[in-house]
Amino acid sequence: MHRSRTVLRARGARQGRRHYRMTIASRVLLVEASQPTTAGYRGHLESSPHRVTAVASIGAARQALAESPVDIVLLDAQLPDGSGLDFLDELLAREDAPDIVVITEVAGADLAVEAVRRGAVDFIPRPLDATRLLVTLDNTAARRQLRRDCARLSRQRTAARDLVEPLWLVEKRAIQAAIAACDGNVNRAAGLLEVAPSTIYRKLQAWKKAGAGH
């Protein structure tokens, strides 16, 4: 199972001190038809913690994903063998769906809006801006890791609920079992449970009022 790696990245200097922010290392698939653009992206990302695989078509992207899942896809909106937006829909339908950042032209505002509407988490316009590229990937990776952490905590809470019964239910079953063992005699059941009979009567009345709730 892939585990994201957290690293510290330097973010400039001020008054002789270096400033850092947390970065989640991710597996990135770059789907870009232009070789010069691909080279530019690789150049800007080679010193980052992200591991980048580059392909030039939808077909090659499918093959790459079949061999190894990724966390983030940088997706060119226009590819030689199809529409990037249509491929976006296909990617999001996967069981291990990655987060998708669409690459658009500067004048492609409508396309960027459509990509986000379909489920892309962000978009990057051309010409390439190195700072925006890194910030977008870092933010996308951080949000993805946060979703994973929340899902893991939710599963843990569900498992705990399955293992531990609510206290009121344990108490109710104990009282019912004691009354049954004493042939319906509440006073004897109270003695068996070492509580006052009034306690049992009070709880029985409360459960009766609650009705289907308990």
Q: Tell me: the pLDDT tens digits for 90-126?
A: 999 998 899 999 998 765 678 888 999 999 999 998 8
Task: Give yes or no: residues 89 and 193 share one domain.
Answer: no
Task: Give yes or no: residues 88 and 143 share one domain.
Answer: yes
Task: Give yes or no: residues 143 and 207 share one domain.
Answer: no
One-letter amino acid at 194 equals E
Task: Give yes or no: residues 94 and 177 share one domain.
Answer: no
Task: Give yes or no: residues 146 and 93 share one domain.
Answer: yes
Residue 75 to residue 87: CA distance in whole angstroms: 9
One-letter amino acid at 212 equals A
pLDDT of residue 22: 53
Task: Give yes or no: residues 9 and 68 share one domain.
Answer: yes
pLDDT of residue 6: 46
Average pLDDT, stretch 75-85? 91
State if pTM tops 0.75: no
> Could you say which of 160, 176, 197 is where a domain stops?
160
> Could you say which of 160, 178, 202 is where a domain stops?
160
Parallel, antiparallel, or unpaired for β 82-83 and 78-79?
antiparallel
Parallel, antiparallel, or unpaired for β 51-55 and 17-25?
unpaired
Structural domain total, the chain: 2
Task: Give yes or no: residues 37 and 110 share one domain.
Answer: yes
CA dihedral sign, ordered 134, 136, 138, 144: negative
Task: Give yes or no: residues 102 and 54 share one domain.
Answer: yes
Task: Give yes or no: residues 182 and 144 share one domain.
Answer: no
Which residue range(s) make up the domain with 205?
Answer: 167-213
Tens digits of residue pLDDT in 147-188: 888 888 888 887 777 777 778 888 888 999 999 989 889 999
Average pLDDT, stretch 85-90? 93
Mean pLDDT taken over the chain: 83
> Could you say which of 160, 177, 199 is where a domain stops?
160
Residue 49 to residue 9: CA distance in whole angstroms: 9
